[in-house]
Amino acid sequence: MTDFFKGIPQIRYEGPQTTNEFAFRHYNPEEVVAGKTLAEHLRFAIAWWHSFAWPGGDPFGGQTLQRPWFGDTLDLAKLKADVAFEMFDILQAPFFCFHDADIRPEGKDFAENTRNLKTIVDYIGEKMTGSNTKLLWGTANLFSHRRFMSGAATNPDPEVFAWSAATVKTCMDATLQLGGQNYVLWGGREGYETLLNTDLTQEAEHAGRFLQMVVEYKHKIGFKGAILIEPKPQEPSKHQYDYDVATVYGFLKRFGLEGEVKVNIEQGHAILAGHSFEHELALAASLGIFGSIDMNRNDYQSGWDTDQFPDSVPEMARAYYEVLRAGGFTTGGTNFDAKIRRQSLDPEDLILAHVGAMDVCARALKAAAAALEDGGLEAQRRARYAGWETAEAKAMLGSDLASIEAMVREKGINPEPRSGRQERLENLWNRFV
Ligand code: XUL
Ligand code: CO
């Protein structure tokens, strides 16, 4: 045991009336909602990078957090893992997620990176045998080190492509070894700063081939989890190639990967792309590529990716409504890709950020499940398209413009507009939130 979380009890469900800060008010992991427990629905994961590796910097100032495990040695990386598993236990977290660079010290070359990764992955594997916490996904950090400043798979330098491909191989091996349920690729610097130095065509070809290699390797090693792309429109690059769900789908189609790769959708990234979170979720479900979510929120005033913990039940309820309509998570889950503010120095802040977020998500999921169970919204959605259920209407889709023109004349078709009932539907929705 380390003493980092000394005095902080394990968080248990005590119900909405409790005044205990260190308790869940709404997240009762065993509560059954719409046929599954809340733990099974929500599949919460803790992000290693924000909770254990982030030093608290922003563009105007450096480190504010001082953690006893900060530093680039294997012993400190093990201490970090010890603390991580203590936090997973305090929160009863079912899953965690990591990048290679979050868990291992940086080596002087590729061989040392791989050795360090293997040592820490073995260490984490041992810790997992005595823990209930599993791996939701692993990923490679192909954006922080200066070698990636011009991209990884899309870097103009083939040596960086090689380094990146080799690194992803080691991270997929690590994810397989730890029983990960997904492997994620977020193209942090797969994009450009200026078109004046960028060959869009060549970069897209390289990114497409890179992803094909990831899928080929997945099958080669027998990894049964899902490969997920995480869309984001900009930041760190001015323009990133995996802009949003629609763009990723086009990219997957172009490289024949739409049956192999799904998406990990992040709330803050959806907002940066000018969408709502629920739009991205609904679109992914409709395209058959919904995989997992990174749960956080952005500050609507600052306009950048602030990665705050979610605090809005109405917003999250709209998101979980789409998750439930999509049939819920299979390999995916709710990963808190969220960081405490840089002034939140205390170990308690880190724990309570997650407690609050888990409660917000649980309330949202319950509201969404109630709305879906009520069925009123879905009935009205179906009723709106009921005209298309007739054989005549369906046949029109197999017809042609000239025949349809003849039919319109013959029948004297003259459509009467009907209300979209938006406010009535919003009122119905608000009964559940
Ligand atoms: C960055 C981001 C990443 C990915 C994993 O905005 O969301 O943390 O989730 O690389
Ligand atoms: Co993310």
Q: Are residues 94 and 216 in the same domain?
A: yes
* SS3 category, 116: helix
Give, as residue ranges, everything with CB less than 5 Å from ion ligand 2.
266, 294, 337
- Catalytic positions, written as ranges: 99, 102
Using most ligand atoms within 8 A of CB, pick from 232, 264, 272, 304 the residue to mutate for ligand 1.
Answer: 232
Amino acid in the structure at residue 360? V
Kind plus residue range of the DSSP H or E element containing 320 = helix 313-325
Residue 122 CB neighbour total at 10 angstroms: 13
Residue 5 lies in a domain: no
Q: Are residues 53 and 197 in the same domain?
A: yes
Q: Are residues 391 and 336 in the same domain?
A: no
Residue 302 near residue 264, CB atoms below 8 Å = no
Residue 358 near residue 22, CB atoms below 8 Å = no
Amino acid in the structure at residue 122? D
The enclosing domain of 258 has a CATH number of 3.20.20.150
Quote the number of domains for the chain.
2
Angstrom distance (rounded) from CA 426 to CA 196: 47
Contacts of 122 (CB under 8 A, 6+ apart): none
Of all atoms in ligand 1, which is nearest to the CA of residue 294?
Answer: 9
Amino acid in the structure at residue 244? D
- The reply to whether omega before 16 is within 30° of 0 (cis) is no
Q: Which of 327, 350, 374 is the last residue of a domain?
A: 374
Q: Which of 328, 357, 374 is the last residue of a domain?
A: 374
Q: Are residues 400 and 344 in the same domain?
A: no
Angstrom distance (rounded) from CA 224 to CA 273: 31
Of all atoms in ligand 1, which is nearest to the CA of residue 47?
Answer: 8
Q: Say which DSSP state 389 is in.
A: G
Residue 212 lies in a domain: yes
Residue 6 lies in a domain: no
Q: Are residues 117 and 223 in the same domain?
A: yes
404 C-alpha to ligand 1 centroid (Å): 49
Name the closest-CA residue to atom 4, ligand 1.
186
Span 278-332, pLDDT tens digits: 999 999 999 999 999 999 999 888 888 999 999 999 999 999 999 999 999 999 9
DSSP assignment string, 128-189: HHTSS-EEEEEE---SSSGGGTT-STT-SSHHHHHHHHHHHHHHHHHHHHTT-SEEEE--TT
Q: Are residues 420 and 273 in the same domain?
A: no
Place of tokens 């003259």: 414
Q: Are residues 251 and 384 in the same domain?
A: no
Q: Are residues 422 and 314 in the same domain?
A: no
Residue 80 near residue 367, CB atoms below 8 Å = no
Q: Are residues 408 and 309 in the same domain?
A: no
Burial of 221 (0-12, 13-18, 19+ CB in 10 A): exposed
Name the closest-CA residue to atom 3, ligand 1.
186
- Position 302 scores a pLDDT of 83
Q: How many degrees, rounded to 5, is the angle at CA 67 between CA 65 and CA 69?
A: 145
Q: Are residues 401 and 319 in the same domain?
A: no
Each of the 433 residues of the chain gets a pLDDT tens digit; together they read 999 999 999 999 999 999 999 999 999 999 999 999 999 999 999 999 999 999 999 999 999 999 999 999 999 999 999 999 999 999 999 999 999 999 999 999 999 999 999 999 999 999 999 999 999 999 999 999 999 999 999 999 999 999 999 999 999 999 999 999 999 999 999 999 999 999 999 999 999 999 999 999 999 999 999 999 999 999 999 999 999 999 999 999 999 999 999 999 999 999 999 999 999 999 999 999 999 999 999 988 888 899 999 999 999 999 999 999 999 999 999 999 999 999 999 999 999 999 999 999 999 999 999 999 999 999 999 999 999 999 999 999 999 999 999 999 999 999 999 999 999 999 999 999 9
Span 41-90, pLDDT tens digits: 999 999 999 999 999 999 999 999 999 999 999 999 999 999 999 999 99
334 C-alpha to ligand 1 centroid (Å): 13
Q: Which of 330, 356, 374 is the last residue of a domain?
A: 374
Angstrom distance (rounded) from CA 11 to CA 378: 36
Residue 3 lies in a domain: no
Ligand whose nearest atom lies closest to the CA of 99: 1
Residue 263: which domain range?
12-374
Angstrom distance (rounded) from CA 145 to CA 168: 15
Angstrom distance (rounded) from CA 226 to CA 330: 10
DSSP assignment string, 47-67: EHIIIII----BTTB------
Q: Are residues 37 and 117 in the same domain?
A: yes
User: Residues enclosing ligand 1, CB less than 6 A?
Assistant: 49, 99, 139, 184, 186, 230, 232, 266, 294, 305, 337
- Position 87 scores a pLDDT of 98
Angstrom distance (rounded) from CA 316 to CA 297: 10
Ligand whose nearest atom lies closest to the CA of 49: 1
User: Helices 158-177 & 200-221, crossing angle to 10 degrees?
Assistant: 30
Residue 92 lies in a domain: yes
Q: Any known ligand binding at 72?
A: no
Ligand whose nearest atom lies closest to the CA of 184: 1
Residue 422 lies in a domain: yes
Residue 398 near residue 347, CB atoms below 8 Å = no
Q: Are residues 368 and 392 in the same domain?
A: no
Name the closest-CA residue to atom 7, ligand 1.
337
Residue 4 lies in a domain: no
Virtual torsion, Cα 24, 25, 30, 31, nearest 10 deg:
-170
Using most ligand atoms within 8 A of CB, pick from 182, 230, 295, 307 the residue to mutate for ligand 1.
Answer: 230
- Position 300 scores a pLDDT of 85
Residue 101 lies in a domain: yes
